[in-house]
Amino acid sequence: MTAPRRLLLVNGPNLNLLGTREPGIYGSDTLADVERLVTDAAAARGFEVRAMQSNHEGVIVDAIHAAREDCAGIVINPAGLSHTSVVLRDALAAVALPVAEIHISDVMQRESFRHHSYVTDVAVVHVIGEGVPGYARAVDLLVDVITGQAEG
C-alpha cells in the first residue's frame, strides 16, 4: 500500500478573521490566502491538501482523528489552543502522524502566557514568527520528513 500524498491543514480559533484581525500582528493575508499558499506549496511537492478551520476544539480533534485514515502529515496553527489544550496535544500524539506547528507571530515576543505550547513536543517541525509565508516553509519541511529527506 502506498502512503497517502495528502496533508491536513488545521487552522485554529480566530484564524477565520485573518486579514482583519490585528493586522499589525497577523498581516493582511486572509485565511483563503493561507489555504491557497499551502495548497500551492504542497502541490509543488506532489501532495494535496485538505484544509479546515474551526473555532471549536472538538471539531479540530475530530478532523485530526480522521486524518489518520488518509493523510501523511498535519500542518497546524493551533492558535490560542496551543497554550491551553492538552486535548489537542493528545489527539496529535494519538494519530501518530508527523506534525508541523506553525505560528504567524513570534509567540515568544508576545504575552508570557503564549510562551508555552502543548503542541511543541509532538511536532517534528516548528515554524514560528515568519508570518503567513511560514506556512509554505512548514509544508516543505514536513514533506521532507514524510519523504525521508529529513529526520523528524
Which residue is catalytic, options 65, 103, 115, 135? Answer: 103
56 among known catalytic residues: no
- Tell me: is residue 6 an annotated ligand-binding position: no
Distance between CA atoms of residues 54 and 59, nearest Å: 7
- Tell me: is residue 77 an annotated ligand-binding position: yes
- Tell me: is residue 105 an annotated ligand-binding position: yes
DSSP secondary structure string, 34-92? HHHHHHHHHHHTT-EEEEEE-S-HHHHHHHHHHHHHH-SEEEEE-GGGGGT-HHHHHHH
- Tell me: is residue 21 an annotated ligand-binding position: no
- Tell me: is residue 112 an annotated ligand-binding position: no
- Tell me: is residue 90 an annotated ligand-binding position: yes
103 among known catalytic residues: yes
Binding site for substrate, residues? 77, 83, 90, 104-105, 114
- Just list the catalytic residues: 26, 103
Binding site, residues? 77, 83, 90, 104-105, 114
